[in-house]
Amino acid sequence: MDDSKTPLLGLSPDELKDVAKSLGMPAFSGGQMAKWLYTRHVSSIDDMTDISKQNRERLKEKYVIGCMQPADCQRSVDGTVKYLFPTAGGKFVETVYIPENDRATLCVSSQVGCKMNCLFCQTGKQGFEGNLTVADILNQVYSLPERDRLTNIVFMGQGEPMDNLDNVLRATEALTAPWGYAWSPKRITVSSVGVRRKLKRFIEESECHLAISLHSPLHEQRAMLMPAEKAMPIEEIVEMLRGYDFSHQRRLSFEYIVFGGLNDSKAHAREIVRLLKGLECRINLIRFHQIPGVDLHGADEGRMVALRDYLTGHGVFTTIRASRGQDIYAACGLLSTARKEAGGA
């Protein structure tokens, strides 16, 4: 993609109308462009055949669609597919397609790398290399070979979505607006370690589901696992969340990677119950996948089940998330393009 030109992908009909008018095209061309983008998924401005050739040439001088095909893909034995998408500025991000029975979930990225540096996450080891543009985020859906099979999208790939909130909100608007993909917001979940000010804005400006990375209910231990806890304590995040209504269709969940001998005890379970008491939410327990140079280990199945049963029995609905794509490093916490960024295969 020519980075000197502006992507059309992610622009609303009103913004596309402004593009048309700025080029001396009829204003109604904005609506035509929106249909070509979000209904017909064209890959080239030349494909917009109800716009005159002269006007298409004008468009091509300053604009591109903003779509780029995956540079690589890896397929897991369980059916999971990990795609490597190029982004603006010559970077790359990983995106994971997860089919399961009548569901198909896409795990999308919002940044190249991540600033949060969570101990257990391979993306954090990569460091932060930049925010994805709106077009970069949407392209993970737009150029996905399995796009038409998708039922759900989770912003749980590389990066902290709240750290790129403007572009995440614009992307989710395109996914849910009548002029865009017209998805229900309930088909989209956005995750966060708990960036308080941005979280408030997200809750108030979006109707998508919210997932908070918990991983420990204890301040010092969570700070060891997640440096963001020092500035954004989970106690304060939960207290802020109590000010919003999650009792209807919008879902609040907490992600909890279970580390053997570290955060899987009954004492931890009791603290989780205390922390979340009275809050309408659920917990997803996640198996830990070993990453190089980190002395953490996954809990055995018995501890996972015991933790789930205790929490559910004490009023916090809890599930154990199935682990997918581990053999291709597509499972939770394993995404990284550091090798690719460094020029490796």
Contact call for residues 158 and 112 (beta carbons, < 8 A): yes
Identified catalytic residue from 67, 114, 281, 332:
332
235 catalytic residue (yes or no):
no
15 catalytic residue (yes or no):
no
Q: If you search the block for the tokens 């001396």, which residue do you land on?
A: 24
Collect all residues with Cβ–Cβ distance below 8 Å to 1 and sequence separation of at least 6.
7, 64, 66, 67, 68, 86, 88
Q: If you search the block for the tokens 């597509």, which residue do you land on?
A: 330
Identified catalytic residue from 67, 94, 118, 281:
94
**Could you write out the three-class secondary structure of the chain?**
CCCCCEECCCCCHHHHHHHHHHCCCCCCHHHHHHHHHHCCCCCCHHHCCCCCHHHHHHHHHHEECCCCCCCEEEECCCCCEEEEEECHHHCEEEEEEEEECCEEEEECCCEEECCCCCCCCHHHHHCEEEECCHHHHHHHHHCCCCHHHCCEEEECCCCCHHHHHHHHHHHHHHHHCCCCCCCCHHHEEEEECCCHHHHHHHHHHCCCEEEEECCCCCHHHHHHHCHHHHCCCHHHHHHHHCCCCCCCCCCEEEEEEEECCCCCCHHHHHHHHHHHCCCCCEEEEEECCCCCCCCCCECCHHHHHHHHHHHHHCCCEEEECCCCCHHHCCCCCCCCCHHHHCCCC
Which residues belong to the active site? 94, 332
